[in-house]
Chains A and B, each alone.
Chain A
Amino acid sequence: MLAVGSRLLRRAAACALVGAVACEPGPPPERRVAEPVDPLRPLDVRGPIPAGIKLADYVLDASLDAEKHTVTGTARITWRNSTRAPVDALVLHLYMNGFRAEDTAWMAEARGSHRGARQDKGEGKWGYIDVRAARLLAQGPSADFKAPEQRDAAATPLTLVEGADPSLGSLALPRPVGPDETITVELDFFTQLPRVFARTGYDGEFHMVGQWYPKLAVRHEGGWQAHVFTLHSEFYADFGDYDVHLDVPEDMVVGASGVLVEERPPEGGRKRLRYRADTVHDFAWAASPDFLEYGDTWRDVRIRQLVPRALAGDVQRHLDAQVAALESMDARFGPYPWSTITIVHPPESAGGAQGMEYPTFFTTSDILRVPLPLRLLGIHELLTGEFTTIHEFGHQYFQGLLASDEATQPWLDEGINSFSNTLALDDWLGDDATIARIGNQRVSTIDMIRVALQTAAELDPVDRRAEDYRDFTGTFGGTVYRKTAAVFHTLRALVGPEKFDRAFRIYCDTWRFRHPTGADLRAALLREIGPKVRISDTGPDGQPVDLDVADYLAQAIETTASVDFAVTRVANRRAVGDAGWRRGQDGALALIEPEPAPEGEELGDEASEGFALIVREGEFRVPVEIEFAFKGGARERLWWDGQARYRVFTFPGKKLAGVAIDPDDKLLLEGERLDNRVRGPGQRTPDGLSDPVARFHEAMDLAVLGGLGL
């Protein structure tokens, strides 16, 4: 019976899927919009680009072999030394070498798998980059060496030496580059793309070409900031202009960072495309003959989606999410500076390439296909598709524009971005937006963040280097993405959205096109919000309750302390009366008899005293609001500074009917919420969970029995 039953279920699911797909309308007609001329939006819209921030310009010339899945090319890199010390070697990231062998830092940590997918091994399946020749083209005081005529003048051969981990290499120079001097080097490289894995690679004719060329590390005063490519460390580079020539098979539809400025007529089955991307710190592209193209515009920004035919029905939903993200983030974090954004939908078989951001270009993920019978259950979710689009677009700000070092402080990238994503969702769909729904039940943005807090976020503090997060602990996502988002949502709720948003905007405006650190963000917030924020004028003892912003941020970001308050006891007892021996006005003792009164819950209000014990179970000290409900329906709210381990609240002359900690859900950092609301003694109010669960269980029983199984 079970065998038949499970087979039946499987069949039913398969048929429903077939039915759903069969009912799916064909792809909407393709639509194109004109290619923007300038990779940047007009100056009066985007604002000026700070002087001197472009330190690394690239001219890339690359040819794709779509059969062998290789890219052969040259990279001409012009770099200016903006530090005060001479530099005698250039350090380069060779990211693709992270996938070269089992013992690279990346593969050793990931043990060959990423987001549940395993890397294919073997000839043509490992990814690597081989720099086959390097030349010094020019060196001197700040001349423009980008001009091609400089190309072969006095080229000096150089040697690139791979580091202990092959994802880094260094290029010794014959003469150091002095402060403010500029150098141009040219490298011939050969890149073998892996079978789609960890954001990059090929799948059939689909090619996602990311972290594919030799790329300069960032020079700080103290030396090169160059990270070995590991599982969680993403990318960090200087801004610059990219001039990229791509030579690809004629039938390829190509999407890339920046804008297409030239397309030569095809010759011998191949075509040459030229792209320009201004003031960016990376360049990625994707190519497939099976892409359909959908162009749209938001104000003066071109939105271009490249989609395999099977997924084309989803473009409108992704477009809506993209527009919502632009609306929200452009207004909150400053104008989006580039004139284009390209969204690539990897084919279903290339899931490993989903959900990755590069400047003005990202890959998104497929929207879950809900089979027809399940749609009857009212299942709807934004998590699999729309959320990815919003998230990856958010990286255009948090890492694309505010280009923090995501290897050293990944929370500035993934965490602040996650924070911005929930704001965008709320701006789009209303506060505490629903991101998944089944029947009459919903999961909100708050729930999404909270679920992660309970489990993993207590092992690592937010402020850790990417490489210090071990894959084995599984804490990276919960801490870096979710806890960081919760930290800033909580701060925003405590100090007030207006005050917070103003301060955060100033941070964004100050650090556009720069490389802010965590300290920069904290300093900006502290400066703009102020060191102390008055939360309430009257605390439980009549004195005001303040939030110490620096202390809050230190606990939230540097420690693993968790926010957890609990109502551990609520009771009503006899208030102190006046019975007993008392000295009268004449000085003599007189006995006052106690009034005969019932005990416990039978006591009248005046003779009672409600008291509640609120315990701070977590190590995190933060002000918290508490709502006391009294018999008869009156309510009173009080803020407690949350510094001590516990606090007893007493209410002479009133009987407590219930206590709720943080009734307005301000402390998103608090993962455990169930112990926040407790009813008073003798209260018959239902717990709100057992009845619904029992009702649901009973109904499912009735469905299973369906006529008593007769």
Chain B
Amino acid sequence: MNALRRVLRVPGLWLGLCALQLGLAWGLAQPVAGAVRAAMGGRVWTDPHRLIAALAELLVQNPAILTVFVAAAITSGLLGAAIALLVRGGVLLRLGDASDRGTRAWAEFGRASLGNLPVLALIGLYGLVLRVVLSFVANALAGAHALVELVVLVLLLTFATCAGDLAAARRVLRGERGVHPREYLRACADVARSPRLWLASGALTLARWAIAGAIVVIAVHGSGEAWASWSARGLACVAVFLALWRVAVAVEASRRD
């Protein structure tokens, strides 16, 4: 069973995660809207293409709004990471075994998520350390050439993501303890020995980053316009799908162990 089919067999998981992500982003935009609305009072701005001038004036009068902007952005980043970690166990379980469990599914999802949380957090921490090390490696390898360094860094970071996925899949699906760094390093070695795995996972990671970039481009070109919001939401759902697919690639690899 290939990785894509694993994702397609659990549309509910994808839709649920999409709803979570869209809800989070929308919810955190509300305090921002509220702060601006309150500051505007009954005042009205009519030129949708000269918002920079309006915002500049508003921020001079109400510098506190900037704090709301920053706080909302930081919160969304942290909450996003926390939720991702929280559901990671359940996601791996569902991708590993998509058979219909009926009402038991939620309970199993919850157990897999919470039960594996501490170890998966530890694996995440190893991944963080690895990324820091790899960024130094990229710097050393590339010498002074910034373009070379970026390419090397991107390759190495996709490697870290892939290794983290594999280690997590082995913990959740294969019952490996996953606590000792040796197990994490073994996952790294396996990824290094399997270029096809690294390539598949890396391509999906890069695609997801490209989608994130596309969202930024659309948000800027369609600032404040409904089409841009809906496009961004649609693309975000694609990004969730790509993330699940990438995790499924690691699940598939862990099966072959």
Chain A partners chain B: yes
Which residues from chain A sit less than 8 Å from chain B, CB to CB? 1, 3-4, 7-8, 11-12, 14-15, 18-19, 373, 376-378, 438-444, 447, 450-451, 454-455, 570, 658, 672-675, 677-679, 685, 687-710
Q: Mark B25-50, 1 if CB is under 8 A from A, else 0.
A: 11011101110110010111111111
B76 adjacent to A658 (CB under 8 Å): no
**9-residue interface stretch from B110-118, B171-179, B210-218:** B210-218
A687 touches B40 (CB 8 A): yes
5 A-B pairs closest in CB distance: A692-B224, A694-B33, A707-B243, A439-B220, A699-B219
Contact B50 A678 (CB under 8 A): no
Q: State the total of A-B contacts with C-beta under 8 angstroms.
A: 247
CA distance A451 to B24 in the complex (A): 35
Chain B residues in 8 Å Cβ range of A7: 135, 153
Q: Give bound CA distance, A678 to B45, whole Å.
A: 9
* Chain B neighbourhood of A373, CB < 8 A: 213
A438 touches B73 (CB 8 A): no
Q: Which residue of B is nearest A22, CB measured?
A: B147
Decide: A674 and B221 in contact? CB cutoff 8 A.
no
Interface residues as binary, B48-78 with A (CB distance below 8 Å gives 1, 0 otherwise): 1111111111101100000001001100110
Interface assignment of B81: CB less than 8 Å from any CB of chain A: yes
Residue among B83, B228, B233 with max Cβ neighbours from chain A (10 Å): B228
C-alpha spacing A7/B152, complex, angstroms: 13
B221 touches A705 (CB 8 A): no
Bound-state CA distance A687–B60 (Å) is: 18
Supposing A673-B57, A694-B33 touch, asked if A706 and B239 sit within 8 A by C-beta, the answer is: yes
Q: Are A707 and B77 in contact (CB under 8 A)?
A: no
Please pick, from B43, B208, B211, B232, the residue contacting A675 in the complex, using a CB distance under 8 A: B43
B43 touches A674 (CB 8 A): yes
- Chain B residue with Cβ nearest A678: B42
Pair A674/B61 contact, Cβ less than 8 Å: yes
Kindly provide the distance from the CB of B241 to the nearest chain A CB, expressed in whole angstroms: 8
| A19 cross-chain contacts in B, Cβ below 8 A | 147
Residues of A within 8 A of B58 (CB): 674, 689
Asked whether, in the complex, the Cβ of A704 is within 8 Å of the Cβ of B80, the reply is: yes
User: In the assembly, what is the distance between CA of A501 and CA of B6, in Å?
Assistant: 73
| Cβ-closest chain A residue relative to B127 | A1
- A450 nearest CB neighbor, chain B only: B53
**Contact partner, A691, options B33, B209, B233, Cβ 8 Å:** B33
What are the residues of chain A within 8 A of B46 when measuring CB–CB? 677, 688
Cross-chain contact A658 with B44 (CB below 8 angstroms): yes
Q: Which of B87, B131, B236 contacts A702 (CB 8 A)?
A: B236
- The CA-CA distance from A56 to B52 in the complex, in Å, is 50
How far is it, in angstroms, between the C-alpha of A710 and the C-alpha of B212 when the chains are bound? 13
Q: Which residues of A contact B26 (CB under 8 A)?
A: 698
Q: Which chain A residues border B29 with CB–CB below 8 Å?
A: 694-695, 697-698, 701
Sample (18) of A-B pairs whose CB atoms are under 8 Å apart: A1-B128, A4-B135, A8-B150, A11-B149, A377-B216, A442-B49, A678-B43, A689-B54, A690-B40, A692-B51, A696-B224, A697-B69, A699-B219, A702-B239, A705-B77, A707-B208, A708-B84, A710-B244
CA distance A12 to B157 in the complex (A): 14
Q: In the complex the two chains form, is B44's CB within 8 Å of A678's CB?
A: yes
Q: In whole Å, how far is B59's beta carbon from the nearest beta carbon of chain A?
A: 11
A702 with B215: in contact, given A442-B49, A710-B247 (CB under 8 Å)? yes
B140 located at the interface, meaning its Cβ lies under 8 Å from any Cβ of chain A in the complex? no
Q: Binary interface profile of B, 178-209, with partner A (CB < 8 Å = 1, else 0)?
A: 00000000000000000000000000000011
Q: What B residues does A695 contact at CB under 8 A?
A: 29, 223-226, 228-229
In the assembled complex, the CB of A448 is this many whole angstroms from the nearest CB of chain B, namely: 9
Given A12-B150, A689-B51, A710-B88, A672:B243 Cβ within 8 A: no
A707 touches B242 (CB 8 A): yes
Docked Cα-Cα span, A140 to B218, in Å, equals 76
How far, in Å, is B57 (CB) from chain A's closest CB? Answer: 5
> Interface 1/0s, chain B 134-170, versus A by CB < 8 A?
0100000000001101100100010000000000000
Contact call A440/B223, Cβ cutoff below 8 A: yes
Interface residues of B in 91-116 (CB under 8 A from A): 91
B17 sits at the interface (CB 8 A): yes
Whole-angstrom distance between the Cβ of A548 and the nearest chain B Cβ: 29
In the complex the two chains form, what is the Cα distance from A450 to B45 in whole Å?
Answer: 16
* Known contacts A442-B50, A708-B240: A693-B208 contact under CB 8 Å: no
* A687 x B32 contact (CB < 8 A): no
**How big is the B interface, by class?**
35 or more
Asked if B216 contacts A703 (CB within 8 A), the reply is yes
B1 within 8 A of A: no
Does B222 count as interface, using CB distance less than 8 angstroms? yes
Choice from A8, A376, A696 contacting B219 with Cβ under 8 Å: A696
Instruction: State whether the Cβ of B15 lies closer than 8 Å to any Cβ in chain A.
Output: no
Q: Majority SS of interface residues in chain B?
A: helix
Pick from B56, B221, B244: contact of A440, CB under 8 Å: B221
Any chain A CB within 8 A of the CB of B235? yes
How many angstroms between the C-alpha atoms of A555 and B113 in the bound complex?
A: 71
* A700: chain B residues within 8 A (beta carbon): 73, 215-216, 219
Contact of A697 among B20, B40, B72, B225 (CB under 8 A): B72
B33 proximity list for chain A (CB < 8 A): 690-691, 693-694, 697
B215 contacts which chain A residues (CB < 8 A)?
A: 699-700, 702-703, 706
Residues on B with C-beta less than 8 A from A705 are: 21, 24-25, 76-77, 80, 236
Partner of A710, one of B132, B216, B240: B240
Contact of A378 with B243 at beta-carbon distance under 8 Å, contacts A674-B43, A679-B44 already known: no
Residues of B within 8 A of A376 (CB): 217
Name the distance in Å between B3's Cβ and chain A's nearest Cβ.
Answer: 14
Complex CA gap A699/B91 in Å reads 25
Given A697-B69, A701-B73, A705-B236, A443–B53 Cβ distance below 8 Å? yes
- Return the chain B residue nearest A443 by Cβ: B52
- Check if A11 sits within 8 Å of B52, measured CB to CB: no
Contact at A706–B209, with CB atoms within 8 Å?
yes
Cβ–Cβ < 8 Å partners of A704 in chain B: 73, 76-77, 80, 212
Give bound CA distance, A699 to B49, whole Å.
18
When the two chains form the complex, which single residue of A11, A570, A697 contacts B32, counting CB atoms closer than 8 Å?
A697
Q: Kindly state the separation between the CA atoms of A438 and B209 in the bound complex, as whole angstroms.
A: 22
Q: Would A710 and B91 count as touching, CB distance under 8 A? A: yes
Q: How far is the CA of A377 from the CA of B91 in the complex (A)?
A: 35
Shortest CB–CB separation between residue A441 and chain B, in angstroms? 5
A708-B239 Cα distance, complex, nearest whole Å: 8
Which of chain B's residues have a CB closer than 8 A to the CB of A701?
24-25, 28-29, 72-73, 76, 80
A190 to B104, CA, bound (A): 94
Q: Give the Cβ gap from A691 to chain B, nearest Cβ, in Å.
A: 7
Across-interface contacts of A3 in B (CB, < 8 A): 132, 135
Residues of B within 8 A of A687 (CB): 36-37, 40, 43-45
Task: For B247, list chain A residues within 8 Å (CB).
Answer: 710
Inside 8 A of A443's CB, which chain B residues have their CB?
50, 52-53
Contact of A441 among B32, B52, B211, B218 (CB under 8 A): B52
Kindly list 14 other residue pairs between chains A and B, CB separation below 8 angstroms, not including A677-B46, A702-B235: A8-B135, A438-B220, A440-B223, A442-B50, A687-B36, A688-B47, A697-B33, A701-B28, A702-B25, A702-B215, A705-B25, A706-B211, A706-B239, A709-B77
Report B-chain residues with C-beta under 8 Å of the C-beta of A694: 29-30, 32-33, 36
- Chain A residue contacts of B34, Cβ below 8 A: 690
Contacts of A692 in B (CB 8 A): 48, 51, 223-225
Given contacts A1-B128, A697-B69, contact A703 B232 (CB under 8 A): yes
Alpha-carbon distance between A678 and B225 when the two chains are bound, in angstroms: 22
- Of chain A, the residue at the smallest CB distance from B91 is A710
- Within the complex, which residue of A377, A672, A691, A707 is in contact with B57, where a contact is CB–CB below 8 Å? A672
Contacts of B61 in A (CB 8 A): 674
Contact between B146 and A708, CB atoms less than 8 A apart:
no
Question: Which residues of the partner chain B approach A693 to less than 8 Å between Cβ atoms?
Answer: 32-33, 36, 51, 55, 224
